[in-house]
Copies of this chain bind each other. A is one copy, B any other.
Amino acid sequence: MSSFTDAPSNVLAEAQERIQQDLLTALDAFFLPEPLKGAVYHAVMLGGKRVRPALCYAVADIRPGVNAAAVRRAAVAVELIHCYSLAHDDLPCMDNDLLRRGQPTCHVAFGESTALLAGDILQSMAFEILGSRLFDQSTAVDASIVLKQVQILATATSKMVCGQVMDLQAEGQHVSQEVLENIHRNKTGALISAAIMMAAVAVFEGTDQAIPELRKFGQSIGLAFQVQDDILDIVAETEVLGKTAGKDQQADKSTYPALMGLEQAKAYAKELHDQAFASLVSFGDSARMLNSIAVFLLSRKS
Protein backbone atom coordinates (compact mmCIF):
# COMPACT_ATOMS: atom_id res chain seq x y z
CA MET A 1 0.00 0.00 0.00
CA SER A 2 1.37 3.40 -0.94
CA SER A 3 2.44 5.74 1.79
CA PHE A 4 1.07 8.69 -0.20
CA THR A 5 -2.40 8.75 1.25
CA ASP A 6 -4.53 11.25 3.09
CA ALA A 7 -7.05 9.93 5.61
CA PRO A 8 -9.38 7.98 3.27
CA SER A 9 -12.64 8.82 5.03
CA ASN A 10 -11.87 12.56 5.01
CA VAL A 11 -11.00 12.52 1.32
CA LEU A 12 -14.23 10.76 0.44
CA ALA A 13 -16.33 12.96 2.71
CA GLU A 14 -14.94 16.06 1.05
CA ALA A 15 -15.61 14.65 -2.42
CA GLN A 16 -19.14 13.76 -1.36
CA GLU A 17 -19.78 17.32 -0.24
CA ARG A 18 -18.47 18.71 -3.54
CA ILE A 19 -20.49 16.38 -5.73
CA GLN A 20 -23.66 16.87 -3.68
CA GLN A 21 -23.42 20.60 -4.37
CA ASP A 22 -22.61 20.16 -8.06
CA LEU A 23 -25.39 17.61 -8.56
CA LEU A 24 -27.87 20.02 -7.06
CA THR A 25 -26.61 22.88 -9.26
CA ALA A 26 -26.87 20.64 -12.29
CA LEU A 27 -30.38 19.36 -11.55
CA ASP A 28 -31.58 22.88 -10.79
CA ALA A 29 -30.48 23.95 -14.29
CA PHE A 30 -33.18 21.74 -15.87
CA PHE A 31 -36.86 22.38 -16.23
CA LEU A 32 -38.57 19.14 -15.22
CA PRO A 33 -42.34 18.71 -14.86
CA GLU A 34 -43.74 17.03 -11.76
CA PRO A 35 -43.81 14.20 -10.76
CA LEU A 36 -40.69 13.58 -12.88
CA LYS A 37 -38.78 16.29 -11.04
CA GLY A 38 -39.46 14.72 -7.66
CA ALA A 39 -38.41 11.30 -8.93
CA VAL A 40 -35.20 12.62 -10.50
CA TYR A 41 -34.16 14.45 -7.32
CA HIS A 42 -35.09 11.38 -5.26
CA ALA A 43 -32.97 9.11 -7.47
CA VAL A 44 -29.97 11.45 -7.42
CA MET A 45 -29.91 13.33 -4.12
CA LEU A 46 -30.49 10.46 -1.68
CA GLY A 47 -26.77 10.06 -1.26
CA GLY A 48 -24.62 7.02 -1.78
CA LYS A 49 -20.88 6.70 -1.67
CA ARG A 50 -20.31 8.85 -4.80
CA VAL A 51 -17.29 6.73 -5.66
CA ARG A 52 -17.32 7.63 -9.36
CA PRO A 53 -17.29 11.41 -8.90
CA ALA A 54 -14.65 11.03 -6.19
CA LEU A 55 -12.47 9.19 -8.70
CA CYS A 56 -12.93 12.04 -11.20
CA TYR A 57 -11.82 14.58 -8.62
CA ALA A 58 -8.91 12.42 -7.52
CA VAL A 59 -7.57 12.12 -11.08
CA ALA A 60 -7.93 15.88 -11.50
CA ASP A 61 -5.99 16.33 -8.27
CA ILE A 62 -2.90 15.02 -10.10
CA ARG A 63 -2.92 18.22 -12.15
CA PRO A 64 -5.01 20.72 -10.16
CA GLY A 65 -6.95 23.34 -12.07
CA VAL A 66 -6.58 21.96 -15.60
CA ASN A 67 -9.96 22.00 -17.39
CA ALA A 68 -11.63 21.99 -13.99
CA ALA A 69 -15.12 22.60 -15.37
CA ALA A 70 -14.87 19.58 -17.68
CA VAL A 71 -13.90 17.43 -14.70
CA ARG A 72 -16.85 18.71 -12.65
CA ARG A 73 -19.26 18.05 -15.52
CA ALA A 74 -17.83 14.55 -15.97
CA ALA A 75 -18.28 13.85 -12.25
CA VAL A 76 -21.94 14.90 -12.41
CA ALA A 77 -22.57 13.04 -15.66
CA VAL A 78 -21.12 9.73 -14.53
CA GLU A 79 -23.08 9.88 -11.27
CA LEU A 80 -26.33 10.57 -13.17
CA ILE A 81 -25.69 7.47 -15.30
CA HIS A 82 -25.07 5.47 -12.14
CA CYS A 83 -28.31 6.80 -10.60
CA TYR A 84 -30.29 5.98 -13.76
CA SER A 85 -28.99 2.41 -13.63
CA LEU A 86 -30.03 2.06 -9.98
CA ALA A 87 -33.53 3.42 -10.63
CA HIS A 88 -34.00 0.92 -13.47
CA ASP A 89 -32.33 -1.96 -11.57
CA ASP A 90 -34.77 -1.53 -8.71
CA LEU A 91 -37.89 -1.73 -10.93
CA PRO A 92 -40.32 -4.62 -10.38
CA CYS A 93 -39.37 -6.27 -13.69
CA MET A 94 -35.70 -6.23 -12.61
CA ASP A 95 -34.60 -6.72 -8.98
CA ASN A 96 -37.92 -5.49 -7.52
CA ASP A 97 -36.13 -3.76 -4.69
CA LEU A 98 -38.13 -1.73 -2.21
CA LEU A 99 -35.26 -0.20 -0.30
CA ARG A 100 -32.14 1.66 -1.37
CA ARG A 101 -29.85 3.59 0.98
CA GLY A 102 -32.42 3.00 3.69
CA GLN A 103 -35.12 4.84 1.69
CA PRO A 104 -37.98 3.71 -0.54
CA THR A 105 -36.74 3.05 -4.08
CA CYS A 106 -37.78 5.45 -6.82
CA HIS A 107 -40.71 3.37 -8.10
CA VAL A 108 -42.01 2.77 -4.58
CA ALA A 109 -42.01 6.51 -3.92
CA PHE A 110 -43.15 7.75 -7.36
CA GLY A 111 -44.72 4.83 -9.22
CA GLU A 112 -43.29 2.57 -11.86
CA SER A 113 -43.81 4.69 -14.99
CA THR A 114 -42.31 7.79 -13.39
CA ALA A 115 -39.31 5.82 -12.11
CA LEU A 116 -38.78 4.39 -15.60
CA LEU A 117 -38.91 7.87 -17.16
CA ALA A 118 -36.69 9.32 -14.43
CA GLY A 119 -34.04 6.74 -15.30
CA ASP A 120 -34.47 7.50 -19.00
CA ILE A 121 -34.05 11.24 -18.62
CA LEU A 122 -31.11 10.91 -16.24
CA GLN A 123 -29.24 9.29 -19.10
CA SER A 124 -29.90 12.07 -21.61
CA MET A 125 -29.28 14.72 -18.92
CA ALA A 126 -25.84 13.21 -18.37
CA PHE A 127 -24.94 13.78 -22.03
CA GLU A 128 -26.50 17.24 -21.99
CA ILE A 129 -24.32 18.20 -19.04
CA LEU A 130 -21.12 16.85 -20.59
CA GLY A 131 -21.57 19.10 -23.62
CA SER A 132 -22.83 22.11 -21.67
CA ARG A 133 -21.09 25.18 -20.24
CA LEU A 134 -22.10 24.29 -16.69
CA PHE A 135 -19.46 25.33 -14.12
CA ASP A 136 -17.53 27.08 -16.90
CA GLN A 137 -15.93 30.10 -15.30
CA SER A 138 -13.70 31.21 -18.12
CA THR A 139 -12.54 29.59 -21.35
CA ALA A 140 -14.43 26.83 -23.05
CA VAL A 141 -12.94 23.36 -23.02
CA ASP A 142 -11.69 22.07 -26.36
CA ALA A 143 -14.52 20.30 -28.21
CA SER A 144 -12.35 17.30 -29.02
CA ILE A 145 -11.82 16.66 -25.29
CA VAL A 146 -15.52 16.90 -24.52
CA LEU A 147 -16.32 14.64 -27.45
CA LYS A 148 -13.87 12.06 -26.08
CA GLN A 149 -15.70 12.27 -22.74
CA VAL A 150 -19.00 11.67 -24.52
CA GLN A 151 -17.52 8.63 -26.25
CA ILE A 152 -16.09 7.24 -23.03
CA LEU A 153 -19.34 7.69 -21.12
CA ALA A 154 -21.60 6.36 -23.88
CA THR A 155 -19.43 3.27 -24.42
CA ALA A 156 -19.28 2.55 -20.69
CA THR A 157 -23.04 2.96 -20.36
CA SER A 158 -23.65 0.46 -23.15
CA LYS A 159 -21.20 -1.94 -21.54
CA MET A 160 -22.96 -1.55 -18.21
CA VAL A 161 -26.25 -2.64 -19.81
CA CYS A 162 -24.55 -5.60 -21.51
CA GLY A 163 -23.09 -6.59 -18.14
CA GLN A 164 -26.53 -6.48 -16.55
CA VAL A 165 -27.87 -8.79 -19.23
CA MET A 166 -24.92 -11.17 -18.87
CA ASP A 167 -25.44 -11.14 -15.10
CA LEU A 168 -29.13 -12.02 -15.44
CA GLN A 169 -28.24 -14.80 -17.89
CA ALA A 170 -25.70 -16.24 -15.44
CA GLU A 171 -28.21 -16.53 -12.58
CA GLY A 172 -28.54 -20.11 -11.38
CA GLN A 173 -25.53 -21.17 -13.44
CA HIS A 174 -22.04 -22.10 -12.37
CA VAL A 175 -19.84 -19.83 -14.43
CA SER A 176 -16.06 -19.74 -14.64
CA GLN A 177 -13.96 -16.95 -13.15
CA GLU A 178 -13.29 -15.71 -16.69
CA VAL A 179 -17.00 -15.39 -17.42
CA LEU A 180 -17.65 -13.74 -14.06
CA GLU A 181 -14.88 -11.20 -14.67
CA ASN A 182 -16.25 -10.40 -18.09
CA ILE A 183 -19.65 -9.74 -16.51
CA HIS A 184 -18.22 -7.41 -13.90
CA ARG A 185 -15.80 -5.59 -16.19
CA ASN A 186 -18.93 -4.60 -18.09
CA LYS A 187 -21.53 -4.28 -15.34
CA THR A 188 -19.61 -2.13 -12.86
CA GLY A 189 -16.01 -1.87 -14.04
CA ALA A 190 -16.78 0.03 -17.24
CA LEU A 191 -18.45 2.99 -15.51
CA ILE A 192 -15.78 3.17 -12.80
CA SER A 193 -13.09 3.20 -15.49
CA ALA A 194 -15.10 5.81 -17.39
CA ALA A 195 -15.07 8.13 -14.37
CA ILE A 196 -11.29 7.92 -14.29
CA MET A 197 -10.80 8.21 -18.06
CA MET A 198 -13.21 11.15 -18.51
CA ALA A 199 -11.19 13.11 -15.96
CA ALA A 200 -7.92 11.84 -17.46
CA VAL A 201 -8.67 13.10 -21.00
CA ALA A 202 -9.62 16.47 -19.51
CA VAL A 203 -6.58 17.00 -17.32
CA PHE A 204 -4.01 15.35 -19.58
CA GLU A 205 -5.72 16.61 -22.73
CA GLY A 206 -5.74 13.18 -24.28
CA THR A 207 -2.07 13.06 -25.11
CA ASP A 208 -0.10 12.32 -21.98
CA GLN A 209 1.57 9.01 -21.19
CA ALA A 210 -0.32 9.08 -17.88
CA ILE A 211 -3.42 7.84 -19.72
CA PRO A 212 -2.36 4.15 -20.01
CA GLU A 213 -1.38 3.99 -16.32
CA LEU A 214 -4.71 5.49 -15.28
CA ARG A 215 -6.52 3.05 -17.57
CA LYS A 216 -4.80 0.17 -15.78
CA PHE A 217 -5.69 1.70 -12.41
CA GLY A 218 -9.33 2.00 -13.51
CA GLN A 219 -9.52 -1.60 -14.66
CA SER A 220 -8.03 -2.97 -11.43
CA ILE A 221 -10.03 -0.79 -9.09
CA GLY A 222 -13.25 -1.40 -11.05
CA LEU A 223 -12.97 -5.16 -10.68
CA ALA A 224 -11.80 -4.89 -7.07
CA PHE A 225 -14.89 -2.82 -6.30
CA GLN A 226 -17.15 -5.65 -7.50
CA VAL A 227 -15.25 -8.39 -5.69
CA GLN A 228 -15.53 -6.32 -2.53
CA ASP A 229 -19.25 -5.82 -3.17
CA ASP A 230 -19.75 -9.59 -3.41
CA ILE A 231 -17.83 -10.08 -0.17
CA LEU A 232 -19.83 -7.41 1.62
CA ASP A 233 -23.08 -8.96 0.43
CA ILE A 234 -22.16 -12.01 2.51
CA VAL A 235 -20.48 -10.51 5.54
CA ALA A 236 -22.28 -7.19 6.08
CA GLU A 237 -25.40 -6.68 8.10
CA THR A 238 -28.49 -5.37 6.30
CA GLU A 239 -28.42 -2.37 8.60
CA VAL A 240 -24.89 -1.29 7.68
CA LEU A 241 -25.39 -1.96 3.99
CA GLY A 242 -28.61 0.06 3.69
CA LYS A 243 -29.95 -2.56 1.33
CA THR A 244 -31.01 -6.14 1.81
CA ALA A 245 -27.90 -8.25 2.51
CA GLY A 246 -27.55 -11.78 1.21
CA LYS A 247 -29.66 -10.96 -1.86
CA ASP A 248 -27.09 -12.40 -4.23
CA GLN A 249 -27.26 -15.77 -2.52
CA GLN A 250 -31.06 -15.70 -2.51
CA ALA A 251 -31.07 -14.94 -6.23
CA ASP A 252 -28.50 -17.70 -6.82
CA LYS A 253 -26.17 -15.22 -8.45
CA SER A 254 -22.61 -16.04 -9.40
CA THR A 255 -20.26 -14.23 -7.03
CA TYR A 256 -16.56 -14.38 -6.25
CA PRO A 257 -17.06 -15.89 -2.78
CA ALA A 258 -19.35 -18.53 -4.30
CA LEU A 259 -16.77 -19.26 -7.00
CA MET A 260 -13.55 -19.27 -4.96
CA GLY A 261 -14.60 -19.22 -1.30
CA LEU A 262 -14.72 -16.18 0.99
CA GLU A 263 -11.08 -16.12 2.05
CA GLN A 264 -9.80 -16.52 -1.49
CA ALA A 265 -12.14 -13.75 -2.64
CA LYS A 266 -10.73 -11.44 0.04
CA ALA A 267 -7.19 -12.27 -1.09
CA TYR A 268 -8.19 -11.58 -4.69
CA ALA A 269 -9.65 -8.19 -3.77
CA LYS A 270 -6.37 -7.35 -2.04
CA GLU A 271 -4.39 -8.48 -5.08
CA LEU A 272 -6.45 -6.28 -7.41
CA HIS A 273 -5.95 -3.34 -5.09
CA ASP A 274 -2.20 -3.92 -5.09
CA GLN A 275 -2.29 -3.87 -8.88
CA ALA A 276 -4.19 -0.60 -8.70
CA PHE A 277 -1.67 0.95 -6.30
CA ALA A 278 1.18 -0.21 -8.55
CA SER A 279 -0.32 1.70 -11.48
CA LEU A 280 -0.07 4.90 -9.44
CA VAL A 281 3.59 4.67 -8.48
CA SER A 282 4.84 6.87 -11.33
CA PHE A 283 2.58 9.73 -10.19
CA GLY A 284 4.21 9.85 -6.77
CA ASP A 285 2.67 12.22 -4.25
CA SER A 286 0.37 13.85 -6.84
CA ALA A 287 -1.83 10.73 -6.80
CA ARG A 288 -2.37 10.77 -3.04
CA MET A 289 -6.10 11.40 -3.41
CA LEU A 290 -6.44 8.45 -5.80
CA ASN A 291 -4.48 6.31 -3.34
CA SER A 292 -6.76 7.38 -0.51
CA ILE A 293 -9.87 6.44 -2.43
CA ALA A 294 -8.41 3.06 -3.33
CA VAL A 295 -7.68 2.49 0.37
CA PHE A 296 -11.21 3.47 1.25
CA LEU A 297 -12.67 1.07 -1.31
CA LEU A 298 -10.67 -1.84 0.07
CA SER A 299 -11.59 -1.11 3.68
CA ARG A 300 -15.22 -0.10 3.23
CA LYS A 301 -17.92 -1.83 5.25
CA SER A 302 -20.86 -1.07 2.95
Residue of B nearest to A107 (CB): B93
> 7 smallest A-B Cβ distances: which pairs?
A124-B157, A93-B112, A127-B154, A143-B144, A121-B161, A143-B143, A128-B154
A264: interface (CB < 8 Å) = no
In the assembled complex, the Cα of A165 lies from the Cα of B120 at a distance in Å of 12
A32 to B125, CA, bound (A): 24
Partner of A35, one of B117, B146, B165: B165
Bound CA span A108–B165, Å = 17
**Closest partner residue, chain B, to A155 (CB atom):** B128
Interface residues of A in 11-60 (CB under 8 A from B): 30-36
- Contact of B123 with A165 in the complex, beta carbons under 8 Å: no
How many protomers of this protein does the assembly include? 2
6 A–B contacts, CB within 8 A, in A order: A30-B158, A121-B162, A123-B124, A127-B127, A127-B154, A131-B151
- Assuming the contacts A127-B127, A147-B150, asked whether A114 and B165 have C-beta atoms less than 8 A apart, the reply is yes
A91 within 8 A of B: yes
Q: Which of A147, A157, A162 has the most CB of B within 10 A?
A: A147
Inter-chain contacts of A164 with B (CB < 8 A): 117
Given known A144-B143, A154-B124, contact A161–B117 (CB-CB < 8 A): yes
A267 within 8 A of B: no
Give the residue among A31, A121, A132, A165 with the most B Cβ atoms within 10 A. A165
Q: A127-B127, A128-B151 are in contact. Are A117 and B157 (CB under 8 A)?
A: no
Binary flags per residue of A130-154, CB closer than 8 Å to B gives 1, else 0: 1110000000001110110011011
A273 within 8 A of B: no
For A92, list chain B residues within 8 Å (CB).
Answer: 93
Interchain CB contact under 8 A, A88 and B114: no
Is A203's CB within 8 Å of the partner chain B? no
Residues of B within 8 A of A121 (CB): 157-158, 161-162
By the criterion CB–CB under 8 Å, are A162 and B36 in contact? Answer: yes
A131-B150, A143-B146 are known; give 20 further A-B pairs, CB within 8 A.
A32-B162, A34-B169, A36-B162, A36-B165, A88-B117, A91-B116, A93-B112, A94-B113, A117-B164, A121-B157, A121-B158, A123-B123, A124-B158, A127-B154, A128-B155, A128-B158, A130-B150, A131-B147, A132-B151, A150-B150
